[in-house]
Structure 1
Amino acid sequence: MPSQTVWITGASSGIGEALALRYAQDGADIVLSARREDELRRVADRCQQAGVAADQVLVLPLDVTHWEAMPEAVQAVLDRFGHIDLLVNNAGVSQRSTCQDTDMSVYRQLMEVDVMGQIALTKAVLPHMLSRGSGHLAVTASVAGKVGVPQRTGYCAAKHAMMGFFDALRAEVEDQGIHVSTIVPGFIRTDISRNALAADGTAFGELDPDISGGMDVADCAEVIFRGLSARKREIPVGKGKEMAALWVKRLSPELLFRLVKARS
């Protein structure tokens, strides 16, 4: 039986890197994409240490805002492995600034990276999956895709958009053999806050207390791996109070709004 081919964007660090290592342990063929080729090669080495052969890992640098490069990238994966079984749209950037202070260029960048880039790559891969009548599309959304919180107006908007897009896509393609999963992380110990955009578009450069106290990224990857393996449509992952917010939002939106305001 041929190995599963798993393509992960944002694979140079954080959840993407941890997920690549978990799939390496499972023996999958892995495609690693992000902008930083040197970091991708470091992750590729770690994947080999985790158990896959060198020819099972393809380092494929990709900037998700460069839509014109995506057809060639898809073809490179198909030329190497012949098929794409799972695409994990994990590239993204967060935000730490109030609406009043945030430059419009920051909102544009958040939408280009966190929304349009994910849509563009999904559209590039989708025809291949439809022609095979099988495949799995996933996106790393966020609890921020369901709950609005201070200093993340653009990030929350982007993640809400991803929840809506992939839920709607699922309704279109699930009967054609394509599975669609939304991954909903809470606070995970990564560099997401350090790399977040400040009001002027520079890196925020600090580690949030919520992030530093969040779930270990390897534990997060294990939850995601199991959820994707079970073809769950939605995969919440986290260990803190933020995960309870998902239920509060469903049961009592007004209560959640008050809780968020009290915390700000």
Structure 2
Amino acid sequence: MSPFPHLDKRQTLLAAALALPLLLRLLRTRRGPSREQVLPPSSERVVLLGASSGIGKDLAVAYAKRGAKICLVARRAEVLDDVRDQLVALGLPADRVLCVPADITKVDDLIAVREAVLEAWEGFDTLHILAGVPSTRTLLQLAGVNLVPDPTDTSAKPRLIPTAIDETGNLAPTSLPAKAGLDALAIEARACGEINYVGTVLALATFLPLLASTSPSPAVHHLSSVAAAIAAPSRCLYSATKAAAYMAVESARVECEGMGVRFFSLLPGTIDNEFRTKTATAQTGGNCEVHNGVKSQWGDKILLKPSQVVDTVLTHLALPTGKYPLIPYPPFSWISGLALPPKPTFFLPFIYKAATILQLTPLGYLYVEPNARKKYGLRA
């Protein structure tokens, strides 16, 4: 007689159902080591392009707490010195901090950064492209033209008509932008393009070969913006140049497949820091939607805490860099062609990813665009 009691069909199915999770756990393909196992945080050599303020400065603080070697890069030398002093005050040895004043739009400056890193550390492991400038007015506002309700239109939602502002700030006799307004637009457009886009592609080309050849786990992080993927009202120039930079990083990622470099772009929404209060050409004067009272309509939910952004960046860069099966169970896990690397793009908050899909449907016009205008203080 069998030592095991006889199981009827129901009992057999129940036993199989209970055993299935354990079986799947045993068969599931294990992920490779995390990047932090391959490259301990205290051994990481980090270059921060745009480290004088905002997320660049916040990342510098986070890396200092981990004991990393940090190269701070920004245009203003005196501000870099202040950031370095803050890192040293946190306990990071002064010899683990490099300060290299540089303009990322200038080739000679970027080469100087590369040479400083090569001389001090013989290479590096992580490149953060963080430098950027905002543009927080509509295209026509930048050219000196405002859209105002037509006083002759008595409908509930009157047509908007262009009204130009002259050099003294008064209403001009014509609705056409003057030369001064168009000149101002050209200056802002070129400033955004130079820093947000040209600086990004120059940084990639300058540092990628050194990064790939000197690190056991090379990684590039580009701080993009949700405005790079979703048309943002009052962010026309910013959105266009961030989209160009994001596509440049993505194209470089595709081109450099097999090089061993991890590419990661973060596309955050509005961050609660001083960035949006600036302009493309000055440290003040930005058209901040929060300062303009939009916060009272939307609440704090429109703002991301800088710590959220920093944590998201570090979490994604710490992921195992090797490919992982799309279906991590045999026999699918044995097919190398079904293995994928970590995701190269992440939206923060993730709901903006849904918005990129919605904008391709009728809901883009009916819901996404009106709410975007409302967020930035324009008529929905």
Give the equivalent residue in structure 1 for 2:74: 34
Give the equivalent residue in structure 1 for 2:269: 186
Which runs of no fewer than 5 residues in structure 1 stay unpaired?
A: none
- The answer (yes or no) to whether the contact 1:174–1:180 under 8 Å persists in 2 is no
- The answer (yes or no) to whether the contact 1:16–1:90 under 8 Å persists in 2 is yes
**What SS does the corresponding residue of 1:193 show, helix, strand or coil?**
helix
Give the equivalent residue in structure 2 for 1:5: 45
Tell me which structure has the larger Cα radius of gyration: 2
Give the equivalent residue in structure 1 for 2:345: 234
- The answer (yes or no) to whether the contact 1:8–1:31 under 8 Å persists in 2 is yes
- The answer (yes or no) to whether the contact 1:34–1:63 under 8 Å persists in 2 is yes
Aligned residues: 257
Q: CA RMSD for the aligned pairs?
A: 2.2
1:135 correspondence with 2:218: yes
**What SS does the corresponding residue of 1:174 show, helix, strand or coil?**
coil
For 1:89 and 1:11, the matched residues in 2 are separated by 10
| Cα displacement (A) at 1:19 | 0.7
Give the equivalent residue in structure 2 for 1:109: 191
| Cα displacement (A) at 1:206 | 5.2
Supply the AA of the counterpart residue of 1:95. S
For 2:313 and 2:212, the matched residues in 1 are separated by 24
Aligned counterpart for 2:314 among listed residues 196, 202, 225: 225
**What SS does the corresponding residue of 2:277 show, helix, strand or coil?**
coil
TM-score under structure 1 length normalisation: 0.89
For 2:238 and 2:224, the matched residues in 1 are separated by 10
- The answer (yes or no) to whether the contact 2:122–2:214 under 8 Å persists in 1 is no
Supply the AA of the counterpart residue of 1:147. I
Q: Which has the higher mean CA deviation after the structures are superposed, 181-190 or 225-234?
A: 225-234
- The answer (yes or no) to whether the contact 1:11–1:90 under 8 Å persists in 2 is yes
Aligned counterpart for 1:97 among listed residues 130, 137, 147: 137
Supply the AA of the counterpart residue of 1:176. M
Summarize the alignment of residues 24-173 of structure 1 with structure 2, pairs less than 5 Å apart.
Answer: 24-102=64-142, 103-132=185-214, 134-173=217-256
Supply the AA of the counterpart residue of 1:236. F
Supply the AA of the counterpart residue of 1:116. V
| Cα displacement (A) at 1:140 | 0.7
Pair 1:130–1:224, CA change in 2 (3 A): closer
1:262 correspondence with 2:302: no
Aligned counterpart for 1:250 among listed residues 349, 357, 363: 357
- The answer (yes or no) to whether the contact 1:136–1:178 under 8 Å persists in 2 is yes
For 1:89 and 1:122, the matched residues in 2 are separated by 9
For 2:276 and 2:55, the matched residues in 1 are separated by 13
After superposition, give the CA deviation of every residue in 1:219-238 in whole Å (9 maximum; x if it has no partner): 32112111122255223334
Supply the AA of the counterpart residue of 2:364. L
- The answer (yes or no) to whether the contact 1:96–1:204 under 8 Å persists in 2 is no
After superposition, give the CA deviation of every residue in 1:5-27 in whole Å (9 maximum; x if it has no partner): 11011111110011111111111
Pair 1:249–1:237, CA change in 2 (3 A): closer
Q: Which has the higher mean CA deviation after the structures are superposed, 222-231 or 12-21?
A: 222-231
